[in-house]
Amino acid sequence: MIKLTKSFPLVLTLALSVAAAQTLELYNDKPDWNSNYTKVGDLGAKSGAGFKGVTFADPSTYQAAVRTSLSTSKAPAMFTWWSGYRMKDLVESGTLQDLTPIWQKYQKAGEYGSDLAKAFTFDGKIYALPNNVAYWAVFYNKKAYKDAGITPPTTWAQLESNNAKLKARGVTAFGQSVEDRWPAFIWFEEFLTRQDPDLYERLMVGKAKYTDPGVTKVFTTWKSWMDKGYFTPASTGFGSGGTNGMAKLFAQGKLANILAGDWYTATIAGTGLKPGEDYGVFILPTMNAKAKPVIIYEASPLIVSKNAVNKAQALKVADFWMSAKAQTLWSNLQSFTPVNNEVTVDNPVTKELTSALSKSKPRLINRIWEATPTEIIEPGVDELSKFMLDPSTQSQVQANLQKLADAYWNKQK
């Protein structure tokens, strides 16, 4: 009895730790999404593919924690990351699991197209699953549009005319922000891809310069919009937080449009606006009316660590994650544009965007954050912020951006 009493806590601790070890953890830096990860994990548990979300509030702490553990046995079994150049580093370190067989299984069944995997493919191997693929579109306030007597634009000229009408009514046309640094790239990539998507693609891989006339034109257009009062001050908060959060201004009708990834629907929903009823969505038109429509996309990967202790379980979860069952729940919980062909979503704004995408079949262009090397865009957003706060720095900003690009690309030669 004494022995039993003494050993009981030990047995309990062991039992608990075994139970804990069996619950696979999905590391992420998205606190707002975390409970939904766990909900999908609960569904997976029914077929032995359970997991729970473990979230980090600060993305830089998260990146440091994941990067430093990847080469050890403490590596997280599954984790969210960023695609493109941000993922390349990890792939080259040899710490990521090749997930090509799982993709092949679902591609053969027709559930996924071949394009989607491109963002996660390195040397012919696919190293991630789609956490989500976000399309960057314009969310517009229906009441503000109605009051100004305008409709979603289909041409650049109509867009400019809408901006002027909104301005005349005291409503700011678009939001822009330097808060948290990264949103500073949004309008640079949007103006450039609408003006000359080929130039954008060349710039991303170092085959064009930030001082080229085409890029100068982008800054000129951007500055002219600021001068005309079409943008909020750059000090506006990007989310709904703070007293001047963009989503809050949008809900109040002081701001007519927000250009963001489709994951922003959750932020707008947080202000109480109803999708479809209070706000809708459209794709930003191109400057040349005859050009093919263009849209920025952001592919967010879900990765399995090669060194994780419970890798076998992680692969089981990875298989479940790709299934229509898991994706139906995930896409609906998050109001994401579905990536699995068999999935449909209920959110009317997401439906509207999905329908616009299938109707206009735009050219898909990778977001600058992933499309160009981190060494350029990380300090690059600080340069773009400088321009947004003081447009007179334009030529200095362009020169500094090119200096960053030269420093990186020259090292690659």
Partner 1 sequence: MTVTQQGRTPARRASARCSTAASLTPYLFVLPAVFFVVVFLLAPMLYTFWQSFTDADGLRTPNFVGLRNYAELFTSSNFTLSLRNTLIWVVASVVLPVSLAFAMALALERVVGGNFFRTALYLPSTLAAAAAGVLFSFIFDPTSGVLNAALGALGFDSLSQTEWLFRSPLNTWSMIATYTWQSVGANLMIFLIGLQSLPREPLEAAKIDGASGLKFTRLITLPLMTPYVTIASLMAAVNGFKVFDLIWVMTQGGPARSSETLVVTMYREGFILFHQGVSAAIAVVISLIALAFSYFYLRNVMDKESHV
Pick the piece of the chain touching partner 1 (CB under 8 A) from 233-241, 279-287, 303-311, 342-350: 233-241
Q: Does 398 bind partner 1 (CB under 8 A)?
A: no
CB of 385 to partner 1, least distance (A): 4
Q: Does 233 bind partner 1 (CB under 8 A)?
A: yes
- Which position among 14, 21, 64, 289 is part of the footprint of partner 1 (CB under 8 A)? 64
Residue number, 27 or 112, with CB nearest to partner 1: 27
Residue number, 159 or 234, with CB nearest to partner 1: 234
Pick the piece of the chain touching partner 1 (CB under 8 A) from 112-120, 137-145, 236-244, 332-340: 236-244
Pick the piece of the chain touching partner 1 (CB under 8 A) from 62-70, 149-157, 203-211, 354-362: 62-70
- Which position among 39, 52, 67, 202 is part of the footprint of partner 1 (CB under 8 A)? 67
* Secondary structure element (H or E) that encloses residue 347, with its range: none
The Cβ of residue 21 has, within 10 Å, a number of other Cβ atoms equal to 12
How far apart (Å, rounded) are the C-alpha atoms in residues 398 and 187?
15
**Residue 355 backbone class (left: φ over 0; alpha: ψ -120 to 50; beta: rest):** alpha
Side chain identity at 171, as an amino acid letter? V
Q: Does 394 bind partner 1 (CB under 8 A)?
A: no
Q: Would you say 129 and 327 are in contact if contact means Cβ atoms under 8 Å apart? A: no
Q: Would you say 156 and 127 are in contact if contact means Cβ atoms under 8 Å apart? A: no
Q: Does 389 bind partner 1 (CB under 8 A)?
A: yes
The dihedral through the CA atoms of 313, 317, 320, 326 has a sign that is positive
Residue number, 48 or 242, with CB nearest to partner 1: 242
- Which position among 6, 19, 60, 312 is part of the footprint of partner 1 (CB under 8 A)? 60
Q: Does 255 bind partner 1 (CB under 8 A)?
A: no
Residue whose C-alpha is closest to residue 129's, from 159, 103, 167: 103
Q: SS3 letters for 268-294?
A: HHCCCCCECCCEEEECCCCCCCCCCCE
Distance from CA of residue 389 to its chain's centroid?
24
The Cβ of residue 124 has, within 10 Å, a number of other Cβ atoms equal to 7
Q: Does 97 bind partner 1 (CB under 8 A)?
A: no
What six digits make up the tokens of 79?
Answer: 């984790």
- Which position among 63, 107, 121, 211 is part of the footprint of partner 1 (CB under 8 A)? 63
- Which position among 7, 242, 288, 361 is part of the footprint of partner 1 (CB under 8 A)? 242
For the chain, count helices (H), then strands (E).
18, 11
- Which position among 98, 212, 342, 378 is part of the footprint of partner 1 (CB under 8 A)? 378
Pick the piece of the chain touching partner 1 (CB under 8 A) from 118-126, 211-219, 333-341, 376-384: 376-384
Residues 170-199 that bind partner 1 (CB under 8 A): 178, 180-181
Q: Does 35 bind partner 1 (CB under 8 A)?
A: no
Strand pairing of 78-80 and 24-28?
parallel
DSSP 213-247: HHHHHHHHHHHHHHHHT-B--TTSBSSS-STTBHH
Q: Does 68 bind partner 1 (CB under 8 A)?
A: yes
Residue whose C-alpha is closest to residue 160's, from 199, 200, 137, 191: 191
Q: Does 406 bind partner 1 (CB under 8 A)?
A: no
Enumerate binding residues for partner 1 (CB under 8 A). 60-61, 63-64, 67-68, 70-71, 89-90, 93, 95, 178, 180-181, 233-236, 242-244, 374-375, 378-379, 382-383, 385-386, 389
